[in-house]
Structure formats: C-alpha cells, structure tokens
C-alpha cells in the first residue's frame, strides 16, 4: 500500500468519509490551515476526526522537515530535508514559483557528472514524502510549478511518482503542464505517462546524441538510441500539447563539440521540443569542467540559428555549494543524517535542475535575474 493510501486509511480509521478525507489532504497539500474553507470545521468534520486531527496534522508535518536552508542571491533556496526515518533528501525553491523535488535517496543511474548517484540507490521516496516536499515548500513561498529533477531517477520510482503527480495535479492545485517528469529514458515512462488522468510535461535527460558517449556518461541508463528516445518524447509531446524539454548538461570538451551540434540539429530540428543547455557546475573529485560562458553562448546561438529552439540556463544558486546530492553528502560527512539546523554555507556552485536562462540570439552573460522553465 502506498504512503498516500496509508494516509487515507488513517483518516478513515478516524471516522473520515471520502469528502472529509479529500478536504484534509487538499488543505495539507496546499499548506492551508485545517480550519480553512467555506464550511466551518465543526459543521463539516465528524467529532472523532476533529479530535484526531491534531495528531494527524503532526504526522503530516513529520513526513519532511527542514534540516538546513541555503538561500542564493538569485532568489533560489536549496533545502536539505529530514525525513521521518532519519534519511535526508534535497529540494530547491526556484524563482517564479517553481520547486524541484527529489524522488529517491541516492540514484541507480550513476551519471558520471552527478554527486547523487555516487553511493547508488538507498531507498525510494514515498508518494506522501514527495507531496510533503511541496507542502513544506508552500509554507515558505507560493509554488505553482513542480519539476521532478532532484535526487533520483523518477522512472525507477514510477508508481510513487505518478501517484504524487496525480495528487498534485488535482488536490494540489497545480496545472498539469506545470508538473514536469524528468527521465534519462525508460520505455515504462512512455507507456505509463499517457494513461493517467494527469499527464505531466516531459523532460528528457539526453546529454549526448552519440549512443557510445551517452552510455559512458549515463552508465546504467536504459540502452535506447538517442534518436529513439527523442522520437518517443516527441510523440508524447504532441499527444499532450506540451513541448518536450531536452536537458543537456554542457561539459567542456565532452559534449560541446561540432559533432554534437550537428547531432542535435539532426534530432531536434522540427520537433515539438526545447533544448535546455545547462553549463556544468563542478563537483569535487569529478573530472568534468564547466565550459566558458562565451562558448556556451556561441553554441546556443548556433543551434538557435540552425532551427533548434535553445535556452541557455544558469544553475540556480551558483553562490551556494549545494548542487544535487552535495547538501546531503556534506551532512553525511559530518555525521549528521538529518541535522535539525545549520546556517547557510557560502561559496561553490549549484547543478542541473536550475532555472535562470538567456535564450536564442539574446543570450547574455550570467546574471542574478530570473527566468522560467
């Protein structure tokens, strides 16, 4: 039984009918007080449920709590969250009402340029824990968009992620196109996403148009040819009416070559897609480098001129050393699985699921301004 189903069972055990259950969970997901709404709580909820409500609200609040927060100059805030079992995960408040959430503790894909997967997959994040990241973020600022681009590969936790997406797209009051499912590519994703009542937008983590290089960078991703991945994503994008986002972490001397530019033109020109290029942000002990901003701008302009809609993005919070998996790793190094509080750390850089960008021929230098997905 899923975490959200267990919550519903808990409410029913306290006397909740379906309408009461929907109200309690809707107010939780939207970070609203339980006495909100047009109908007074005393007139709507049964006495048994009202008596149990303080304990239930405390349980909901205990699903995720802020262990430390790391605000950046661009308006983003990286959060290290403690879960009920003592594990930690990360989420990121993004400019313009966005939130990036994690779906796994660790990751099995093992992307060579990413900190999260260095220790493999530790456990799945449950559907209620995913929703709790949103509920908690909404206590800090409004959240209108949720991207599933944090720790973990959503395709490897498909049931929990899709349950959370369907909940957020209904009770959570988030538009379906503002729920973005990110994946390295898995046939199960393309089979499952079209079936649900909430059909999220799709982001495809491509990173190379060469099968051999992509296999090297993403060693445990499914062996699907880049052209086939793009074709599957394009079909889903046309079916939903939301353009596919193609994610490309720009690695100096690796995937910023003329060969890759031509490959991207071949795969994406004429597709219902937007290419999000994100210059890499360094991770200690990893061999990859961030390209010069001028190089990134030139690539984006070239692709744009050749018919590929390209957005060049800066990573949110580049003044905070808190890229994907790094906050959690620092806590583990200090022997703090879920520290109760810690002041923000300064210095360093962020990582892939960021939001600020310049696009097309208007590409400019990095700034502290905000953009949008």
Give me the sheet containing 356-359, strands edge to edge: 64-71, 77-83, 88-94, 98-100, 145-148, 179-183, 201-205, 244-250, 273-279, 310-314, 356-359
DSSP assignment of 120-148: -EEEEPPHHHHHHHHHHHHTTS---EEEE
Beta 310-314 vs 356-359: how paired, if at all?
A: antiparallel
Look up residue 114 and give its two tokens.
């990413």
Helix, strand, coil shares of the chain, percent, nearest 5, are 40, 20, 40
Look up residue 120 and give its two tokens.
């493999």
Half-sphere exposure of residue 351, counting CA atoms within 13 Å on the CB side? 24
> Three-state SS for 93?
strand
CB atoms within 10 A of CB 37: 13
- Segment holding 55, helix H or strand E: helix 47-61
Q: How far apart are CA 194 and CA 336, in angstroms?
A: 41
Question: Which residues does the annotation mark as catalytic?
Answer: 90, 324
Q: How far apart are CA 29 and CA 4, in angstroms?
A: 11
149 and 182 Cβ atoms separated by less than 8 Å: yes
């Amino acid at each position: 039984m899923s975490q959200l189903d267990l919550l519903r069972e808990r409410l029913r055990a306290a006397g909740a009918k379906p309408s009461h259950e929907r109200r309690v969970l809707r107010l939780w997901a939207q970070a609203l007080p339980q006495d909100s709404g047009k109908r007074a709580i005393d007139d709507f909820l049964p006495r048994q449920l009202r008596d149990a409500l303080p304990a239930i609200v405390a349980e909901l609040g205990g699903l995720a709590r802020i262990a430390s927060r790391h605000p950046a100059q661009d308006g983003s805030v990286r959060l290290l969250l403690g879960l009920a079992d003592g594990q930690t995960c990360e989420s990121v408040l993004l400019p313009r009402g966005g939130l990036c959430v994690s779906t796994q503790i660790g990751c099995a894909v093992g992307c060579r340029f990413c900190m999260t997967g260095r220790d493999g997959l530790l456990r799945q994040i449950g559907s209620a824990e995913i929703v709790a990241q949103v509920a908690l973020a909404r206590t800090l600022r409004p959240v209108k968009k949720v991207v599933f681009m944090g720790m973990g590969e959503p395709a490897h936790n498909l049931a929990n992620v899709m349950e959370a997406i369907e909940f957020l797209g209904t009770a959570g009051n988030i538009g379906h196109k503002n729920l973005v499912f990110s994946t390295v590519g898995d046939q199960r994703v393309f089979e499952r996403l079209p079936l649900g009542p909430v059909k999220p937008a799709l982001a495809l983590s491509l990173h190379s148009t060469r099968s051999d290089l992509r296999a090297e960078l993403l060693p445990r991703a499914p062996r699907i040819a880049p052209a086939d991945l793009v074709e599957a994503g394009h079909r889903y994008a046309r079916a939903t009416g939301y353009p596919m986002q193609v994610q490309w972490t720009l690695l100096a001397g690796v995937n910023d070559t003329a060969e890759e530019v031509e490959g991207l033109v071949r795969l994406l020109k004429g597709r219902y897609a937007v290419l999000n290029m994100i210059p890499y942000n360094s991770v200690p002990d990893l061999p990859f480098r961030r390209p010069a901003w001028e190089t990134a701008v030139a690539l984006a302009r070239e692709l744009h001129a050749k018919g590929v809609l390209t957005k060049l993005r800066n990573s949110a919070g580049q003044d905070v050393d808190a890229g994907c998996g790094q906050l959690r790793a620092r806590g583990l190094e200090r022997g703090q699985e879920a520290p109760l509080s810690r002041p923000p750390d300064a210095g360093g850089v962020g990582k892939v699921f960021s939001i600020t960008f310049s696009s097309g021929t208007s590409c400019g230098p990095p700034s502290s301004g905000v953009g949008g997905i």
